[in-house]
Amino acid sequence: MPKKEVHGVSLLYTTAGKGNHSILCMPGFLGTAEDTFGEIFKTFDQQRFRLVAWDPPGYGKSRPPNREIKMGYLKRDAELAAELMKNLGYERYSILGVSQGGETGLILAIYTMVDYYPEKKLNELLKVYDRDYLKKLTTDLLSYGMASGHDNLRDVIGPIKCPLLITHGQKDSVCQVYQARELLRRFPLATLHIFPEGNHDLHNTHPDEFMGAVFGFFNSTFDG
């Protein structure tokens, strides 16, 4: 698998598919591109989609350096992922995040939101701030919300207006179902798919249903 150096970190990534709809696949805690998305890469519609998966910094073969789990590390992951995709030539893409990769995906959605402000609003802001500073303020606000508790985080994630699919196992031993329902309530364009017999690693334990839910969502929500 190829590597790309981003801000001094050598990131392993892999791609598959020839479609016009690009999807960045983000593993969770200790996950890698191969062990998390290997089976999905074998069975998805390669004519419609193009998948990009990475080993997050400090995981798998994106080492050295080793992983440092400290305040702001998911924000840094999001920034590195955004820069990786930019370096690979992807301007617009969806995100498929598993477990903690889903958290990073939300941060990435906030981070890139500056690029998709309504043109009039963006032009007004750029008269006062440069683009990089806007991105920094937005992601710093998200990090503050995550550090300060869910009440603040609720206000931070509110501006995200893109369609969102939430998948959750009824028997999840890591996160409770009420958390998924609360996330659904806070996102105006979200859809919730609950797996009655599912635990946490739905992509491993219920691959067919997971694939059906995820790519059914992408097919019904986004064009080509």
Higher pLDDT, 117 or 102: 102
Over residues 131-172, the pLDDT tens digits come to 888 777 766 766 666 555 444 445 556 567 788 999 999 999
Judged against a pLDDT cut of 90, whether residue 185 lies above it is answered with no
CATH number at residue 41: 3.40.50.1820
169 domain residue, yes or no = no
What is the per-residue pLDDT for 152? Answer: 44
Task: Based on the residue annotation, tell me whether 22 is a catalytic residue of this protein.
Answer: no
The residue annotated as part of the active site, out of 99, 193, 203, 206, is 99
Q: Which of 66-75, 110-119, 170-179 shows the lowest per-residue confidence on average (mean pLDDT)?
A: 110-119
Over residues 199-209, the pLDDT tens digits come to 999 999 999 99
What is the per-residue pLDDT for 150? Answer: 44
What is the per-residue pLDDT for 151? Answer: 44
110 domain residue, yes or no = yes
207 domain residue, yes or no = no
96 domain residue, yes or no = yes
What is the per-residue pLDDT for 165? Answer: 95
- In the chain, the percentage of residues whose pLDDT exceeds 90 is 59
177 domain residue, yes or no = no
Q: Which of 23-32, 99-108, 189-198 shows the lowest per-residue confidence on average (mean pLDDT)?
A: 99-108
Over residues 24-59, the pLDDT tens digits come to 999 999 999 999 999 999 999 999 999 999 999 999
Query: Domains in the chain: how many in total?
Result: 1
Task: Based on the residue annotation, tell me whether 99 is a catalytic residue of this protein.
Answer: yes
The residue annotated as part of the active site, out of 21, 94, 172, 206, is 172
130 domain residue, yes or no = no
Task: Based on the residue annotation, tell me whether 200 is a catalytic residue of this protein.
Answer: yes
Full domain range(s) for residue 23: 3-122
What is the per-residue pLDDT for 122? Answer: 75
42 domain residue, yes or no = yes
Q: What is the 3-state secondary structure (H, E, C) of the chain?
A: CCEEEECCEEEEEEEECCCCEEEEEECCCCCCHHHHHHHHHHHCCCCCEEEEEECCCCCCCCCCCCCCCCCCHHHHHHHHHHHHHHHCCCCCCEEEECCHHHHHHHHHHHHHHHHHCCHHHHHHHHCCCCHHHHHHHHHHHHHHHHHHCHHHHHHHHCCCCCCEEEEEECCCCCCCHHHHHHHHHHCCCEEEEEECCCCCCHHHHCHHHHHHHHHHHHHHHCCC
What is the per-residue pLDDT for 117? Answer: 60
- pTM of the predicted model, to two decimals? 0.81
10 domain residue, yes or no = yes
What is the per-residue pLDDT for 60? Answer: 96
Higher pLDDT, 53 or 188: 53
